[in-house]
Amino acid sequence: MPRLAPTDAPALACRGIERSFGGLKALKGVDLEVRPGEIFGLVGPNGSGKTTMVNVITGFYPPNAGRVALFGDDITGLAPHAITRRGIARTFQNLALFKGMSVLDNILVGRHIHMHPSVLGTLFYWVAAVREETAHRTVVEEIIEFMQLQEIRHEPVEVVPLGLQKRVELARALAAEPRVLILDEPMAGMNQEEKEYIARFILDARDERGVSVLVIEHHMDVVMAICDRVLVLNYGETIAAGPPAEAMASPKVIEAYLGHSAARRQLRAVS
């Protein structure tokens, strides 16, 4: 359960994270620190280990070495559902919504850790469960309003357009009232307008709901615009870190994205 941490503790701190799959070293000692109230970008070319890093933090792949701490509490090696209860929520690169359920029910599942599901509660719905359901429905309706999903709340989630599905998934993650929100490519496959919407929601979530955000994103314009700091990974190693403009201008990053000669041209242009 959430407990008050010293205010100077980072929201999320990863130290020396290593993880391999068979002979492949996906992460080779990565350090990462998200400060409270920060929007932190995790970028890098395809296959650089970004999603693996998120899977390590959320407990899907326990690290081979290194520690993960949430507001000073060690959460290394906990099961994903236990980590969620400590206050981390995430979305997936490829949508992971529950088909056959309405948008509303999908977001209500996000309230799971705050509810008390039971067999008897289901049987005697009218005695107690109805009050709990109503209370949490009220919270969910606030999030629906915040994310502007009122029009589609009763639609089956699979008939909703992709851009809105991404928004529903973000709403479901916010419904858990996390302290740290991890977004794995929230804007993949979106047009400019949808991207701007999501960017606005991420900023609002940070400003109004006080969550710290770790975001994986390929759209550099968005990363530059909303991230306070970034970490650039390549082949499982940190190649740059810091404010986005600085980090992205680093020769190593340009080399990783565009190759040797591009990096040399860039250096010559600067000097």
Partner 1 sequence: MFYRQAGIRYTSYPAERQLWPLGIERVLMGLILALALIAPALLSPLLLSSYLLPWVIWSIAALGLNLLMGGAGQIHLGYAAVMAIGAYSATHAARAGLPFELSLLVAGLASAVIGVIFGAAALRIRGLYLAIATLAMQYIVDFAIGHIPAISGGTQATVATPTPRILGIPVEGPVGGYYIALVVCIVVTLFMLNLRRTSFGRALAAIREKDYAAEILGISAFRYKLMAFWTSSFIGGVAGAILVFCYYRSVSPEQFHLETSVQLVAMVIVGGLGSVLGTFLGAALILLAPLALSALVASLASSGLPIGSDLRAHLPLVLYGALIVGFLIAEPLGLAKLYDNARKYLLVWPFRHARS
Cβ closest to partner 1, residue 60 vs residue 235: 60
d(CA 233, CA 258): 14
* Per CB under 8 A, 56 contacts partner 1: no
* Per CB under 8 A, 212 contacts partner 1: no
Which of 210, 261, 266, 256 is CA-nearest to residue 50? Answer: 256
What are the φ/ψ torsions at residue 208 (nearest 5 degrees)? -90, -30
Residues in the chain: 271
Binding-residue pattern over the window 119 to 138 for partner 1, x denoting contact by CB under 8 A: x-xxx-x---xx-xxx-xxx
Q: Which amino acid is at 2?
A: P
Residue from 176, 230, 239, 247 in contact with partner 1 (CB under 8 A): 176
Residues 57-76 that bind partner 1 (CB under 8 A): 58, 60
Query: Burial of 94 by CB count in 10 Å (0-12 exposed, 13-18 middle, 19+ buried)?
Result: exposed
Residue from 35, 92, 251, 266 in contact with partner 1 (CB under 8 A): 92
Shortest Å distance, C-beta 226 to partner 1: 23
To which H or E segment does residue 17 belong? strand 12-21
Place of tokens 């499982």: 236
Cβ closest to partner 1, residue 101 vs residue 241: 101
List alpha helices for 210-250, DSSP H: 220-226, 244-249
Residue from 110, 186, 236, 244 in contact with partner 1 (CB under 8 A): 110
Residues in contact with partner 1 by the rule CB under 8 A: 58, 60, 79-81, 84-85, 89-90, 92, 96-101, 105, 108-113, 115-119, 121-123, 125, 129-130, 132-134, 136-138, 172, 176
